[in-house]
Amino acid sequence: MRAHSPVRRPLTLRARLALWAALATGLATVLVAAGLFFAVDRYLLTSQQQRLLSAVSALQDRVERVAAQAAQPFGIGVLVLDGGDLTALTAEDDQTRTLQLRLVSPQGGRLQAVSTPGFPRGVPLDLPAGLYWRGDQLLSVRPLRRGTALLVVASDARALSEARRAFTRALAWLLPAALLLSLLVGWVVAGRLLRPVRTLERAAREIGEGSDLRRPLPGSGEGDELARLALTLEQSYGRLADARDREQGFLRAAAHDLRSPLTAVQARVEGTLSRERDPERYRHDLREIGRDLGRLSALTQHLLLLSRDASALGHSPVPLRDLAAEAVDRARELAPEADIDLVAPVPVGVLGDRVLLGQAIWNLTVNAVRHAPGAAVTVTATHQKDGGAQVTVQDDGPGVTPDVLERLGEAFYRPDSSRQGEGSGLGLALARRAAALHGGELTLSSAPGQGFAATLRLPAPGQPGHSATLGDNDPS
Amino acid type, 56 = V
Between 69 and 451, residue with greater pLDDT: 451
What pTM was computed for the model?
A: 0.45
pLDDT of 420 above 50: no
pLDDT of 414 above 50: yes
Give percent above pLDDT 90 in the chain.
3
Confidence of residue 333 (pLDDT cuts 50, 70, 90): confident
Mean of per-residue pLDDT scores for the chain: 78
pLDDT given for residue 378 in this prediction: 92
* Alpha-carbon gap, residue 445 to 264, rounded angstroms: 36
Q: What does the pLDDT look like over 294-306, one tens digit per residue? A: 767 766 765 666 5
pLDDT given for residue 302 in this prediction: 59
CA angle, corner 112, sides to 111 and 114, nearest 5?
145
Range with the poorest average pLDDT among 3-12, 109-118, 152-161, 375-384? 3-12
The distance between the two most distant Cα atoms of the chain, rounded to a whole number of Å, is 163
pLDDT given for residue 467 in this prediction: 40
pLDDT given for residue 392 in this prediction: 92
Rounded mean pLDDT, 366-388 = 86
Q: What are the chain's domains?
A: 13-110+125-162 (no CATH), 311-471 (3.30.565.10)
* Alpha-carbon gap, residue 17 to 32, rounded angstroms: 22
pLDDT given for residue 400 in this prediction: 83
CB 411 within 8 Å of CB 303 = no
Give percent above pLDDT 70 in the chain.
82
1-30 burial, b for 16+ CB within 10 Å, e for fewer?
eeeeeeeeeeeeebeebbbebbeebbeebe
* Alpha-carbon gap, residue 118 to 99, rounded angstroms: 9
* Alpha-carbon gap, residue 43 to 36, rounded angstroms: 10
Q: What does the pLDDT look like over 157-187, one tens digit per residue? A: 887 778 878 888 887 888 788 888 888 888 8
